[in-house]
Amino acid sequence: MRPADLWRHSSFRLALGVTLAVLGALILAGAVGYTVLHRQLADRQDARLREIFTTFQQSDAADQQDLIEAIAARIKASPNQSSVYLLRDAAGKVLVANINDVSVPAGWSTVEAATLGVPTDYPYRIFAGELHGDYLVIGLSNADLDDLAEIILTGFGWAAVAVLVAAIAAGGWIASRLQRRLNAVTETLARVASGDLSTRLAVSKRGDDLDVISGEINQTLSRLGALVEAMRQVSADIAHELRTPLNRLRIHIEGAALNAASGASVDDDLAAAIQQSEAIDQTFSALLRIAQIEAGARREKFAPVDVAALMASVGEVYADVAEDAGHTLRADITDAAWVMGDRELLTQAVANLIENAIRHCPPGTQITCAVRASRTEVTASVTDTGPGIPEAERDLVLRRLYRLEKSRTTMGTGLGLSLVKAVADLHGAEICLVDAAPGLRVELKFPRIIGVS
């Protein structure tokens, strides 16, 4: 990666920004620490000057010579002039000193070394005052304080340079590594855009945020691939299943045209054509309704629904229809069982299950509508004692327009169970086709809601 490209990467900018923020915080903390330490050292220096002055102040006031000798001894003990002294009598005569005869005001002051005649670059902290009729000036070099400032500034300067260099290096490494993973995402999405829905992103074992995103993208691609495949299958099924009714419709229309040309009656051909067109219309209406359900447009109408009461009501409506077809329809329903859902869609799903059992089972079949509730779920089922569905085809019958070979001679569109599955998916329910030995049991397992009455 070129250095000029680093700034374009958010990871590099983030690393650099965090480093600058931490560095700024360290500088602020260092400044505060330095100020406190400098203040304490300065206070100690002032206290030492005050102590020295007090020591001289408490000496014998009548013996000026002793005072001179004491100051001379201190001057001798400080050959490098880290401490300076000047004693002047009342007439202004210098009695003893290791600095120039300078005029220093009484009290505290800071004086440059050149003014005092000391060959150093460090200033001096001075305290001056009257002492037994004389005027005493004492001072201590600020070398320690200035050296401390220089050490801190130099240390922080080099530390800042090292941190910045490390941040740039780390940011560049992170950006380069991240860019490789982002390039993999870009390449994968490019392949998806070109139509390859089987491609997937590599997911490492680190479990970081990019792995989470990669996993979500892979799941999205899986769902997208399944949807595209379903659309292809639906298109193929529609083309296959509607070819016959469209051909029949064309035959009826052509027959009507021939009869009309010969002067024969066209009523039967037109009636058959109308019936065929209505069947085609029903097929497209069912497909459209399934698509609307799968889009989740009805989820906004969800409300608590008692599946037990709903199943009992639908069973009562279809009891006479089942009896006319030579079947027996009974209900096995106990207590209320509440779920969150769309009452109209749930009613249609249950009605489709009962209609399928009535339409595809021979006379004498017993059909049972049941509802059972556990602590966490509600199971609504329709069971018949008919021929059932082979295990190999139980998943296939949930597809749009799929019909068992033995059912192709009966009325229907092959969309009844597809609509039931769409309603189940919308409600977060599981649909299961189970062998009832004999017959078939279709179960819808919903999440149960508690505390509704």
Name the domain boundary from 146, 163, 181: 146
Same domain assignment for residues 141 and 37: yes
Split into its structural domains, the chain has a count of 3
When pLDDT is averaged across residues 75-81 and rounded to a whole number, the result is 87
Same domain assignment for residues 306 and 428: yes
86-90, 145-149, 300-304: least confident range = 145-149
Same domain assignment for residues 331 and 235: no
Q: Is residue 345 part of a domain?
A: yes
pLDDT digits 0-9 by tens, 1-22: 555 565 666 666 777 777 778 7
Structure tokens at 166: 């490390």
Distance (Å) of CA 46 to CA 74, 82, 127, 141, 362? 18, 14, 8, 11, 113
Same domain assignment for residues 137 and 123: yes
Name the domain boundary from 294, 325, 341: 294
pTM: 0.50
Measured between alpha carbons, how far is 336 from 4 in angstroms, rounded to an integer?
Answer: 69
Q: Report the CATH number that the domain containing residue 398 is assigned in CATH.
A: 3.30.565.10
Supply the mean pLDDT for the chain: 81
Q: Is residue 49 part of a domain?
A: yes
When pLDDT is averaged across residues 234-253 and rounded to a whole number, the result is 72
Q: Is residue 199 part of a domain?
A: no
Residue 345 or residue 4, greater confidence: 345
Q: Report the CATH number that the domain containing residue 271 is assigned in CATH.
A: 1.10.287
Q: Is residue 178 part of a domain?
A: no
What percentage of the chain exceeds 90 in pLDDT? 14
Domain that holds residue 46: 10-146
Q: Is residue 175 part of a domain?
A: no
- Return phi, psi of residue 438, to 5°: -90, 170
Q: Is residue 177 part of a domain?
A: no
pLDDT at 75: 87
- Return phi, psi of residue 147, to 5°: -65, -40
Same domain assignment for residues 358 and 440: yes
224-228, 380-384, 444-448: least confident range = 224-228
Q: Chain centroid to CA 337: how far?
A: 36
When pLDDT is averaged across residues 319-348 and rounded to a whole number, the result is 89
Same domain assignment for residues 103 and 83: yes
SS3 content of the chain, % helix, strand, coil (to 5): 60, 15, 25
Distance (Å) of CA 161 to CA 19, 172, 283? 11, 16, 74
Same domain assignment for residues 398 and 442: yes
Sorting pLDDT into bands at 50, 70 and 90, what band is 238? Answer: low
Same domain assignment for residues 279 and 323: no
Same domain assignment for residues 220 and 243: yes
Same domain assignment for residues 15 and 139: yes
pLDDT digits 0-9 by tens, 307-330: 999 999 999 999 999 999 999 999
pLDDT at 414: 61
Q: Report the CATH number that the domain containing residue 63 is assigned in CATH.
A: 3.30.450
Name the domain boundary from 254, 272, 294: 294
Q: Is residue 159 part of a domain?
A: no
Same domain assignment for residues 53 and 97: yes
pLDDT at 161: 81
From the list 166, 160, 164, 172, the residue with the least C-alpha distance to 12 is 172
pLDDT digits 0-9 by tens, 206-236: 777 777 888 888 888 888 877 777 677 666 6
Same domain assignment for residues 400 and 421: yes
pLDDT digits 0-9 by tens, 99-119: 888 888 999 999 998 888 888
Which residues touch 348 (CB under 8 Å, ≥6 apart)? 419, 423
